[in-house]
Amino acid sequence: MSRIGKNPVEVPSGVEVSIANDLLTAKGKNGTLTVPLHEAVEVRQEDGKVVCIPREGAPAARKMWGTMRSMINNAVIGASDGFTVRLEISGVGYRAAVQGSNINLQLGYSHDIIYPIPQGITVKCERPTLIEISGANKQQVGQIASEIRAFRKPEPYKGKGVKYENELIVRKEGKKK
């Protein structure tokens, strides 16, 4: 029994949800998101809620039940509120700046890293050491944040690099004489 799957997804006001041709479409102020539905899970819309039910006899039903509910929930939240990931840059001379449709990263290499910002994603640099990535698609926002972090992961001795805002860096002690 999936603890996540049995909870219905609340549809907030301002979001329209429609189910047709094995696709769930959530339309809101942040745009339109679609979720392909798995054949092992039945999805119904009942009085302002979306309910997922596993189909009997389908071997993948128990595996996909909670996954489908989470994907539908992410689409509904993305269409209404959106998702935001904040990255912090620490290190002497490390900084970021948005230039048109690119983000320019100076991370201690001999060259600047120019990362193109995809459609549907908004990147802001309130200050040179803080990057805010926001968009409607949770997977895409997280993927872009992960790719930017991968350019210079935080190291354990001084903590220099790009890290998530709420990430805790486990620090190591340096050499002793």
62: how many CB neighbours lie within 10 A of its CB?
14
Whole-number pLDDT of residue 62: 84
Whole-number pLDDT of residue 171: 94
- What CATH number is given to the structural domain containing 69? 3.90.930.12
Whole-number pLDDT of residue 114: 97
In a domain? residue 143: yes
Q: Is residue 160 domain-shared with residue 100, that is, in the same domain?
A: yes
Q: Is residue 70 domain-shared with residue 89, that is, in the same domain?
A: no
Q: Is residue 102 domain-shared with residue 61, that is, in the same domain?
A: no
Q: Is residue 72 domain-shared with residue 87, that is, in the same domain?
A: no
In a domain? residue 2: no
Q: Is residue 108 domain-shared with residue 52, that is, in the same domain?
A: no
Measure the CA–CA gap between 73 and 50, rounded to whole angstroms: 9
Identify the sign of the CA torsion 144, 161, 104, 110. Answer: negative
pLDDT in tens, the chain (177 residues): 668 888 999 999 999 999 998 999 999 999 999 999 999 999 999 888 999 999 988 888 888 999 999 999 999 999 999 999 999 999 999 999 999 999 999 999 999 999 999 999 999 999 999 999 999 999 999 999 999 999 999 999 999 999 999 999 999 998 888
Whole-number pLDDT of residue 60: 86
Helix axes 138-150, 61-80, angle to 10 degrees: 90
Residue type, position 137, single letter: N
Q: Which domain holds residue 119?
A: 83-164
Question: And the tokens for 33?
Answer: 């998101």
Whole-number pLDDT of residue 58: 81
DSSP character at residue 165: T
Whole-number pLDDT of residue 59: 81
Token pair 């269409």: residue: 79
Q: Is residue 89 domain-shared with residue 158, that is, in the same domain?
A: yes
In a domain? residue 177: no
Total of domains in the chain: 2
Residue that finishes a domain, picked among 57, 80, 103: 80
Distances (CA, A) of 173 to 89, 155, 158: 21, 12, 9
In whole angstroms, how large is the CA radius of gyration of the chain? 21
Q: Is residue 71 domain-shared with residue 111, that is, in the same domain?
A: no
Measure the CA–CA gap between 78 and 31, rounded to whole angstroms: 8
CB half-sphere exposure, 133, CA atoms < 13 A: 28
